[in-house]
Amino acid sequence: MQSPIARRFVVHGRVQGVGFRYRCVQAAETAGVTGWVRNRTDGSVEAHVEGPADAVEQVLAWVRVGPRHARVDSVEVGEVAPAGHRGFTVR
């Protein structure tokens, strides 16, 4: 079994008002990761995703595209410590 990893994603583009956070929850639940996603005041979306590396990468692949009406211009990815979240929530 893989040790869990955690990543912080900040997604820039047209990512608010297009269902990004709620579709991110679906992608996270499908991948089996935990964490959270939230809108930021600068118009970006931030997420904390933790779980097995391959599952975190699966969510990152989705984040780079986003839902149908989104336009992802860039994604910042940072390593963070796993926090032991349960479930995946919208903040």
Burial label for 68, CB within 10 Å (0-12, 13-18, 19+), is exposed
Is 7 part of any domain?
no
| pLDDT per position as a tens digit, 16-64 | 999 999 999 999 999 999 999 999 999 999 999 999 999 999 999 999 9
Is position 39 annotated as part of the catalytic site? Answer: yes
Q: Is the pTM of this model over 0.75?
A: yes
Is 29 part of any domain?
yes
Q: Which is catalytic among the residues 14, 39, 40, 68?
A: 39
How much is the pLDDT for 46? 98
For 17, residues 6+ apart whose C-beta sits below 8 A from its C-beta are none
CATH of the domain at 66: 3.30.70.100
Residue in 1, 11, 3 with CA at minimum distance from that of residue 51? 3
Is 90 part of any domain?
no
Is 5 part of any domain?
no
- Containing structural domain, residue 19: 15-82
Beta bridge partners of 38: 46
Is position 71 annotated as part of the catalytic site? Answer: no
Q: How many structural domains does the chain have?
A: 1
CA atoms within 13 A on the CB side of 84: 0
Q: Which is catalytic among the residues 7, 21, 38, 40?
A: 21
